[in-house]
Amino acid sequence: MRIKISWDKDKVVGILDDTPTAEKLFAALPCESTANTWGEEVYFCVPVRADLEPSAKQVVPPGTICFWCEGQSLAIPFGPTPVSHDDECRLVTKVNVLGQLAGDPRVLESVRDGDKIRVEAVKG
């Protein structure tokens, strides 16, 4: 499953794994939201509800597409957050890992609080 996340300045493609939460997200597409930033993380609400999966993590590689259950949001870190130790990508709580961005996750540096974000399925 491939998705495109776009905002005024750029876009990025993500590859979702075969997980229950990733399937819920894919079924809810397309959707639009408003971006928030937290350190070097972009997060935004999506119309999905899910419980933590057994494989949930708090520290992930840059560009990991995560679902923050408490905030009903996609969270995509591309560098340290305010709770990180050194250069790790640490989220505020454990999250469900949905997949990975294709390409350089630093493209998310151009996202600003309040930017409109669109998530849609990529055909093919």
pLDDT digits 0-9 by tens, 24-64? 999 999 999 999 999 999 999 999 999 999 999 999 999 99
Write down the pTM of the prediction: 0.96
Q: What is the pLDDT of residues 57-112, one digit of tens each?
A: 999 999 999 999 999 999 999 999 999 999 999 999 999 999 999 999 999 999 99
Give the closest residue to 21 by CA, choosing from 58, 63, 72: 72
DSSP type of residue 82: T
Cβ(68)–Cβ(75) under 8 Å?
A: yes
Domain ranges of the chain: 2-121
Fold of 2-121: Cyclophilin (2.40.100)
Retrieve residue 46's tokens.
């999506």
Residue 21: phi and psi, rounded to 5, are: -70, -40
